[in-house]
Structure 1
Amino acid sequence: MGKQEDFVLRALEERDVRFVRLWFTDVLGSLKSVAVAPAELEGAFEEGIGFDGSAIEGFARVHESDMLAVPDPSTFQILPWRGHDDGRATARMFCDIQMPDGSPSYADPRHVLKRTLSRAAEKGYTFYTHPEIEFYLFKDEYQKGKRPTPVDRSGYFDHTAQSFGADFRREAITMLEQMGISVEFSHHEGGPGQQEIDLRYADALSTADNIMTFRTVIREVALSQGVWASFMPKPYTEHPGSGMHTHVSLFDGDQNAFYEAGSEYQLSATGRAFIAGILTHAAEITCVTNQWVNSYKRLVSGGEAPSYICWGHNNRSAMVRVPMYKPNKGQSTRIELRTIDPACNPYLAFAVILAAGLKGIEQGYELPREAEDDVWSLSDKERKALGIQPLPKNLAEAIEIAESSELLAETLGEHVFDFFLRNKRQEWEDWRAQVTQYERDQMLPIL
């Protein structure tokens, strides 16, 4: 065993850890967990913990179901919301999923991202991401057929006396930092009960792990305070949706590969080609970055959510934004992708974004003219004249485009690609068959 494994085993004794939760993520981005006793962990490091992969969404068919969860010791953390009563702690580690012969599982979303990061590393690049995660807080757990009630009526950046949201964010941030997750900003967002917490820049694998942890922490803190947290992209018709605007950059060693002094917006040729790659493949990857039928209610609603494939300097109506350059801070040059929502599978989303950007660099894609206007305010004719294409309008469109995407098939791998799209097709068919409250309200009185 290595030094990291030895550190974990020592920490189990020193912190009196009673249970270790081994976490991994299914293809749809749901967190899975199995608890082991500390005495079993040495064996888990060496051989993994066996489980039935056919019982996990998208992992395996029945006749090839044996899989192993192998803990990653670098992700060891004590869970701050467990063990307060008896003083005995519970810890967690993320796992890599392996086949019985020790090879990486073709169905493990974490491996999909690691594989794509390895491709970038072969070219000398490290991929960094910085997500701004939005979510709603409701007074009660959701009850079918009942409209959820937000915890407050505050708006964007509001600071109000005895604010529930402020107290909630303070406790959540304290818990995140206890788990080694650095938070950069937090504030009330535009919708009633809507919050935003921004995680600090980190390499994409750490960030994806952090997002999975973040979603768990937010839900745990909400439950402890008698409220309900949701990352649903668009819970209300009339209020803003929840996005996960993500800042990304490539580093070549210690140098930001997106930075070039003196160029327009201080953006290098590499950075411009990366943006061109994202725009060229935007429609193909939307099925992954916005994977739910509800995701498209946010994308068609306007405001802060993009609906069109374009980029702009400090243009918040564009899909890709190049933030304002800060003098003497070349290392901070980055781009912001505004399509992603907080309910995605972050491993797959980061993998396809990186793959699209790398393709732009490899193929030398040309960056189109930037969108200088509010894209929403333009007419269809004006957008067409500028060469601005729409993003998929619904999940069915996104699936149809994704099905013929070579980039998506290569990045996700055949198994994940097939399962993911098959699952999404079924979700769309299920949704199409539903009679909504809107239809009843509009048609029962008159038909």
Structure 2
Amino acid sequence: MDRQQEFVLRTLEEREIRFVRLWFTDVLGYLKSVAVAPAELENAFSEGIGFDGSAIEGFARVHESDMLVQPDPATFQVLPWRNEPHGTARMYCDVLLPDGSPSYADPRHVLKRQLSRASDAGFTFYTHPEIEFYVLKRKPDPGELPEPNDEGGYFDHTPHSSAYNFRRNAIMMLEDMSISVEFSHHEGGPGQQEIDLRYADALTTADNIMTFRHVMKEVALEQGVYATFMPKPFGQFPGSGMHTHLSLFEGDRNAFHEPGATFQLSTIGRGFIAGLLTHAAEITAVCNQWVNSYKRLWANAAASAGAGGEAPAYVCWGHNNRSALVRVPMYKPGKPNSARIEYRALDSACNPYLAYAVILAAGLKGIEEGYTLPPEAEDDVWGLTPAERRALGIKPLPQSLDEAIRTMEESELVAETLGEHVFDYFLRNKRAEWEEYRSQVTPFELQRNLPTL
């Protein structure tokens, strides 16, 4: 037994914790959980806990359903929202096959595999997400429209407001779980919040995002409201994105930083951006996996940035240009670690393990293949005409889930990154979602057509 496992077992005893929740995710990013007693944990560390993989979406077929979850002691945390006399803790798990090998269906393993590839090239991949979401007065009943919990706008601060109290309680809970928060504020839509997590390696970040979403819903329940990460719950208000800052490090050195280079951005950084741009359309279905995701990207693409919520719809990059898909933020003089790039297409309802895996794969491909970085977009890309964008070589992202999955299914890069099993299941699931969506008759159609046709 290693030191981390010993620390977990000792902490359970010292703090009289009676239940340990073992967490993992399915292919779509839904959090799964199984509770074990502390007495069973030593065996879970060494042999895993068995479960029926065929009962989890995308994991296994009935005739190969036996699977194991093995807790990762490095992810151990006590859950701070349980008020029982004896607490509850949680750990993330790796999903294994009966022979102890990693499961091809485990999204966490998909990311680990890509991080190992980066490590073989000498890189550590760091990420810093800015997570947006809405707080509603209550969970809407079927057919009921959502109602924001407040009427605030961007950076609004009203003392003792419900939004302020929500963020304060949520951040305290995150900090109790050693998840560091860098910034928080009210976003542009009524009831919309943003909380930015501090930089961490991509696997830790993905684990933290899954915890974050669960914590936000727990805090909302405690306060009698409802938190949603739906990409665009309101047609008239901005959608919820998860702009993520990215960097590669070689040991302690920021590989994206080159003193004296344009924007202080190294050749490695420029290659990473070129890879993201080249493969942006292919990875969009993973970064924006829901029918509703494309309402965020495209519903207001022709409108101003304020109406569109700064969602990127076109494949380009720019220095401090928030209309670009990839933004190179302002460099802080004397701080080489501040050199980074920001990928702005992600929404906060994606599976972070798969999303970060394909983003990293695209960036590494650009570095390895020596992709050429096109000229930066200096203008407001939303404000350009279609002809002007074509003249500049700026192509659009997929405009629907259907277009995104058609592009993804032709991608060797995404297939290799996700692995055959996850790739095939993801596409089958998304095709089914699109077909179900296409069969719906919407209130818009009834209101517009029923009285006149």
Tell me the TM-score normalised to structure 1 length. Answer: 0.99
Which of the residues 340, 343, 347 maps onto 1:337? Answer: 343
Which residue is equivalent to 1:60? 60
Q: Which residue of 2 aligns with 1:238?
A: 236
CA distance in 2 between counterparts of 1:445 and 1:90 reads 57
What does residue 77 of structure 2 align with?
77
**Normalising by the residue count of structure 2, what TM-score does the alignment of the two structures yield?**
0.98
Alignment of 1:74-223 (within 5 A): 74-82=74-82, 84-85=83-84, 87-223=85-221
Following superposition, the deviation at residue 161 of structure 1 comes to: 2.8
Paired residue for 1:385, among 383, 386, 391?
A: 391
- Separation (CA, whole Å) in 1 of partners of 2:167 and 2:157: 12
C-alpha separation between the residues in 2 aligned to 1:149 and 1:418? Answer: 37
SS at match of 1:292: coil
- Residue of structure 1 equivalent to 2:14: 14
Q: 2: distance between equivalents of 1:144 and 1:45?
A: 43
What displacement does 1:141 show? 1.1
CA distance in 1, matches of 2:170, 2:451: 46
Distance (Å, rounded) in 1 between the aligned partners of 2:158 and 2:449: 42
Cα displacement (A) at 1:444 = 1.9
Partner residue in 2 for 1:367: 373
1:401 to 404, 407, 432: 407
Structure 2 Cα separation of the partners of residues 70 and 409 of structure 1: 26
Question: Which residue does the alignment assign to 1:355?
Answer: 361
- Cα deviations across residues 339-368 of structure 1 (Å, max 9, x unaligned)? 000000000000000000000000000000
Query: Distance in 1 between the 2:334 and 2:199 partners?
Result: 19
Q: In the alignment, which of 311, 320, 325 is matched to residue 305 of structure 1?
A: 311
State whether structure 2 residue 413 is matched by structure 1 residue 415.
Answer: no
* 1:345-397 Cα shifts (integer Å, max 9, x gaps): 00000000000000000000000010000101111111011000000000000
In the TM superposition, what is the alpha-carbon distance from 1:440 to its structure 2 partner? 1.2
Distance 1:401 1:140 in 2: 37
What does 1:430-445 align with in structure 2 at a 5 Å threshold? 430-445=436-451
- The 3-state SS of whatever aligns with 1:243 is coil
Distance in 1, Cα, partners of 2:161 & 2:371? 48
C-alpha separation in 2, matches of 1:140 and 1:270: 47
Once residues 440 and 144 of structure 2 are traced to their aligned partners in structure 1, the CA distance between those partners, rounded to angstroms, is 17
- Cα distance in 1 between the residues matched to 2:20 and 2:447: 50
In the alignment, which residue of structure 2 is the partner of 1:46? Answer: 46
2: distance between equivalents of 1:298 and 1:420?
Answer: 21
Partner of 1:4: 4
How far apart, in 2, do the equivalents of 1:72 and 1:391 lie? 37
The 3-state SS of whatever aligns with 1:233 is: coil
- The 3-state SS of whatever aligns with 1:244 is coil
Counterpart residue type for residue 372 of structure 1: E
Following superposition, the deviation at residue 441 of structure 1 comes to 1.4
Whole-angstrom CA distance in 2 between matches of 1:396 and 1:20 = 40
Deviation for aligned residue 1:330: 1.1
Bigger mean CA deviation after superposition, 293-302 or 412-421: 293-302
State the AA in 2 paired with 1:15.
R
Partner of 2:432: 426
AA of the residue aligned to 1:396: D
Number of equivalent positions: 445
Segments of 5+ residues of structure 2 without an aligned counterpart are none
Q: C-alpha displacement at 1:94, in angstroms?
A: 0.1
Deviations 1:211-237 (A, max 9, x none): 000000000000010000000000000
The amino acid of 1:69's aligned partner reads V
The CA distance in 2 between the partners of 1:15 and 1:26, in whole Å, is: 31
Once residues 149 and 445 of structure 1 are traced to their aligned partners in structure 2, the CA distance between those partners, rounded to angstroms, is 28
Per-residue deviation at 1:76?
Answer: 0.3
1:124 counterpart SS class: coil
CA shift at 1:162, angstroms? Answer: 2.4
Task: Give the corresponding residue for 2:268.
Answer: 270
State the alpha-carbon separation in 1 of the partners of residues 104 and 229 from structure 2: 27
Aligned-partner Cα distance in 1 for 2:259–2:95: 43
Offset of residue 446 of structure 1:
1.8
- Greater Cα shift, 296-305 or 311-320: 296-305
Q: CA deviation at 1:138?
A: 0.4
- The CA RMSD over aligned residues, in Å, is 0.6
Secondary structure of the 2:243 match is: strand
Q: Is the partner of 2:18 in helix, strand or coil? A: strand
